[in-house]
Structure 1
Amino acid sequence: MNIIIIEDELKAARSLENIITEVRPQAKVIAKLQSIESSLKYLSENRQPDVMFMDIQLSDGLCFEIFKSVKIACPVIFCTAFDEYSLEAFKANGVDYVLKPFSKSDIADAFKKVDELRNFFQQSIMPDLTGLLSQITPPSGKKSFLVFKNNKYITIATNNIAFFYIRNELSTIMSFDQQEYIVNQSLDQISSQLSPDQFFRLNRQYIVNFSAIKEVEHYFMRKLFVKLVIPTPDKLLINKEKAPVFLNWLENR
Structure 2
Amino acid sequence: MNVIIIEDEVKAARSLENLIMKLRPSARVPAKLQSVEAAIDWLSSHEMPDLIFMDIQLSDGLSFDIFKTVTVTCPVVFCTAYGEYALDAIKANGVDYLLKPFSEEDLKAAFEKVENFRNFFQQHSGSNLEDLIRKISVDEGKKSFLVFKNNKYVTVQTDQIAYIYIKYTSPSIVTFKGEEYTITQSLDQVQNQLSARQFYRLNRQYLINFSAVREVEHYFARKLLVNLHVATPEKLLIGKEKTAAFLQWLEER
Give TM-score scaled by structure 1 length: 0.49
If you compute each CA radius of gyration, which structure gives the higher value, 1 or 2? 2
